[in-house]
Structure 1
Amino acid sequence: MEDYKFLFKIVLIGNAGVGKTCLVRRFTQGLFPPGQGATIGVDFMIKTVDVDGDKVKLQIWDTAGQERFRSITQSYYRSAHALILVYDVTSRESFDCLPEWLKEIEQYANQQVITVLVGNKIDLTSQREVPPETGLQFAQANNMAFLEASAKEAENVETVFMDLARELTKNARKYLLRNTETVDPNITEITGETTNISYGGCCGSG
C-alpha cells in the first residue's frame, strides 16, 4: 500500500501564458523556469504534503490554455477535486476570459469541486492591468476563494496549494466519518471517480 492517506487531483486552468506551469513548478520543485514554453495538451506533477499529521498526495494537472487543446483538457475536469483558475494581473484580456472558463467548469466539472481564483504575476507591478479589488469582486460574486500570487517570487504559491490541501483533507475526513458503516476502513484513497465527497466551506464553488 502506498505511503499516503489521501490522494487529490488539482487541475489548473486559464488562458495560455498566465503562468500555470510556473505556479506548478514553483510549488512542486521550488523552481521558476525562465522562458517556459507553452504547455502542449496536459502535463502533471505530484507532491506529497503533510496536513495535520496525514500524508496527502497532490496530483497537480497543468492544462494548456490554447483553444485547440480545449477538448483534451475538458476531460480532466470531471474527476478533479479542485480547480485553480488562473489569470495574469498584467493582462486584462486573461481576466475578461474568466466567465468563459466558469462556463466550462459548470459544464464539465463535478458539482462538488472546489474552485480557487488566482491572479498571477504580481511581481510585475508597473505592468498591472487588473487591480486586486477587481479580482476579489469577481471571486466573491462567483463564490470562489481568491489569492494573488507571484510564481517568480514564490509569493503565495505555497499558500494556494496548501490551503486547498487542508480544505480537501477536511472534507475527506468528514466523508469517511459519515460513511464509516458503509466504507471499507482499509480504503483511504479518496478519488473523484470512486466517491462523492461533499465539498463545502469557504472555497466551495456553489
Structure 2
Amino acid sequence: MAGITWHYVLKFIITGDAAVGKSSLLIRLTDQRFLLNPDPTLGVEFGSKLITIPEENKIIKLQCWDTAGTESFRSITRSYYRGAAGCLLVYDVTSRKSFTNARSWLADVREHADPHLTCILVGNKVDLCDADAGAKRREVSTEEAELWAQEEGLLFVEASAKSGQGVEDAFVKAASDILSKIRRGVFDDNRSPGVKLSKPHTNLTMETGAVKQRCCS
C-alpha cells in the first residue's frame, strides 16, 4: 500500500507485570511473529505500526512504548506515561498475581498519564488454557476480568501473542475510542501530546515492522 497518508499518530504505552507477554504482544502487532523466549525489557522498548480503523475511514500510526514490569525500572517507565493517549494494561490469565497487580499499574497510569487516556485491559496467554493435555490452569476468568474492567471504565479483550488472537483487536478498539474522544473534543488534536495530526502531504509505504530501541542497558 504505497502512498498512504496517516491521519493521526497516537502514543500508546504497554504496562503490567514482568513476564505477562507485553513485548510479545508488541512484536506480534508489528512483526506478525512470536518470540518464544524474549529477553526481559530493560526500561522501555519502542515499536510502531500503521492500522486502519474502517468505521472511521482513518489510518492511524501507533507509537507504542513497551515498559518494563519490574519494580527497579518503575521510576523510569512512569516518565513514558506522560502524554500517552492509549494504554494496554496486560495481565496473564494463568497468573492471578499479575491480575491483582494490574490495580497498582492502573493507579500508576492514572496518576502520571493524561486523565483522558483510553485504557484497555488485556488478558494475555489464553493459548495456555487450551484443552490439550498439559494445559495450564486459568486463574482469572473472563467474567471476573470483564466485570473489573467495567467497574474501572476500561475496555477489555483477551488475547494470545502466540496465535495472534485479539492482539490487533486490542489496539483497534483502543484507537477507535481515542478517535471518538477526538471527535467529541475530549482530546484536543495536535495539542494533546499523545495525539498528533498527520503533517500535510506526508506520504509513506505501509509499515509492517517495528523500530525497536532500548532506553538503557
TM-score by length of 2: 0.78
Q: CA deviation at 1:191?
A: 5.8
Letter in 2 for 1:57: K
Residues 76 and 191 (structure 1 numbering): CA distance in 2 closer, same or farther, change over 3 Å?
Answer: farther
Among the aligned pairs, what percent are the same residue?
39
Secondary structure at 1:11 match in 2: strand
The equivalent of 1:89 in structure 2 is: 93
The equivalent of 2:178 in structure 1 is: 168
The equivalent of 2:44 in structure 1 is: 42
- Segments of 5+ residues of structure 2 without an aligned counterpart are 130-134, 196-217
- Residue of 118, 131, 138 corresponding to 2:141: 131
Instruction: Report 1:113-152 matches (<5 A).
Output: 113-125=117-129, 126-127=135-136, 128-152=138-162
Following the alignment from structure 2 to structure 1, what is the Cα–Cα distance between the partners of residues 154 and 194? 25
Query: RMSD in angstroms over aligned alpha carbons?
Result: 2.3
Secondary structure at 2:139 match in 1: coil
Following the alignment from structure 1 to structure 2, what is the Cα–Cα distance between the partners of residues 40 and 193? 24
Deviation digits for residues 169-202 of structure 1 (CA, Å, limit 9, x no counterpart): 23324439x98xxxxxxxxx7363287xxxxxxx
1:7 is aligned to 2:27 = no
TM-score by length of 1: 0.82
Following the alignment from structure 2 to structure 1, what is the Cα–Cα distance between the partners of residues 97 and 41? 19
Verify the 8 A CA contact 1:8 1:190 in the aligned structure 2.
Answer: no
Large movers: runs of 4+ above 4 Å: none
Verify the 8 A CA contact 1:172 1:190 in the aligned structure 2.
Answer: no
Q: CA deviation at 1:68?
A: 0.5
Secondary structure at 2:69 match in 1: coil
Following the alignment from structure 1 to structure 2, what is the Cα–Cα distance between the partners of residues 145 and 164? 7
Residues 191 and 77 (structure 1 numbering): CA distance in 2 closer, same or farther, change over 3 Å?
Answer: farther
Following the alignment from structure 1 to structure 2, what is the Cα–Cα distance between the partners of residues 16 and 10? 18
Following the alignment from structure 2 to structure 1, what is the Cα–Cα distance between the partners of residues 33 and 194? 34
Verify the 8 A CA contact 1:9 1:191 in the aligned structure 2.
Answer: no
- Segments of 5+ residues of structure 1 without an aligned counterpart are 180-188, 196-206
Residues 143 and 174 (structure 1 numbering): CA distance in 2 closer, same or farther, change over 3 Å?
Answer: closer
Instruction: Choose between structure 1 and 2 for higher RCO, CA contacts under 8 A separated by at least 6 residues.
Output: 2
Deviation digits for residues 119-177 of structure 1 (CA, Å, limit 9, x no counterpart): 1000111321111111112111211111111110111111101112222223324439x
- Residue of 55, 58, 61 corresponding to 1:57: 61
Verify the 8 A CA contact 2:86 2:175 in the aligned structure 1.
Answer: no
Verify the 8 A CA contact 1:22 1:36 in the aligned structure 2.
Answer: yes
- Residue of 80, 89, 93 corresponding to 1:76: 80
Q: CA deviation at 1:13?
A: 0.3
